Amino acid sequence: MNGSSRQSGSFEREPAKRVFSQELREARYHFKEGTEEKSPTYVLLPTGERANRVFLVGTLTEKERKGDQNMFYQARIADPSGTFYIIAGSYQPDAMQQIARIDPPAFVAVVGKPSVYDTPTGAALVSVRAESITAVDADTRNLWVLDAARCTLDRLDRLGSDDDSRKAVEIYRTDPVIYRKMVFDALAQLKL
């Protein structure tokens, strides 16, 4: 991809990256590509790939409806490496309706945009603004774990080979051993 999402006056959605919660939680570098208001924003993953959208599968462990005028849902989704935090609000009406219908605990697949928030104490918090949330079965969750493992290992194999991955190494001091262990531990939890 040439870095531009605009083609023939329309926007093309970027592919959603498969990423484990442990890696996404450790992401803290975010940036906007371009100067237009609608220019895409990215989170740079510690394994060296930019993510405008992510695809997650895990167990919806809790959800909470918040707000009256501007209602939204906050939810936690657990995968084999930890917990994702997702938000679905009025700007994501489909996702908000979908999460309202799913009762925890349930396996779910989520596509959304990751965001990094800097707290006043200097910590970085990562959440995903859900675009869609779908109930899935255990087989789908297991296939996602395998796919996320492969994608993570592929990113680690390319680490340091392009501008994004060199920047990730510089920012995060990425230790491939930690992420390979995360993948191994995630695969070890599967009961196939």
Across 31-40, 75-84, 95-104, 170-179, least confident range: 31-40
What's the confidence (pLDDT) of residue 6? 40
The count of structural domains within the chain is: 1
Domain of 125, in residue numbers: 11-188
What's the confidence (pLDDT) of residue 192? 64
62 found inside a domain = yes
Q: What confidence tens digit (pLDDT) does each residue in 168-190 have?
A: 999 999 999 999 999 999 999 98
1 found inside a domain = no
3 found inside a domain = no
4 found inside a domain = no
Q: What confidence tens digit (pLDDT) does each residue in 154-168 have?
A: 999 999 999 999 999
5 found inside a domain = no
The percent of residues above 90 in pLDDT, for the chain, comes to 77
pTM for the whole thing?
A: 0.89
6 found inside a domain = no
The mean pLDDT value of the chain amounts to: 91
Structure confidence at residue 11 as a pLDDT band (50, 70, 90): low
DSSP for 79-98 reads ETTEEEEEEEETTSHHHHHH
Asked whether 19 and 148 are in contact (CB, 8 A), the reply is: yes
| Six token digits for residue 170 | 């510089």
46 found inside a domain = yes
Q: What confidence tens digit (pLDDT) does each residue in 122-156 have?
A: 888 899 999 999 999 999 999 999 999 999 999 99
Rg (CA), the chain: 17
- Closest-CA residue to 177 (of 54, 50, 46): 46
> Token match 């484990």: residue?
20
> How far apart, in whole angstroms, are the C-alpha atoms of residue 81 and residue 105?
17
> How far apart, in whole angstroms, are the C-alpha atoms of residue 127 and residue 165?
22
26 found inside a domain = yes
What's the confidence (pLDDT) of residue 58? 97
CATH code assigned at 20: 2.40.50.140
**Amino acid at the residue 29:** Y
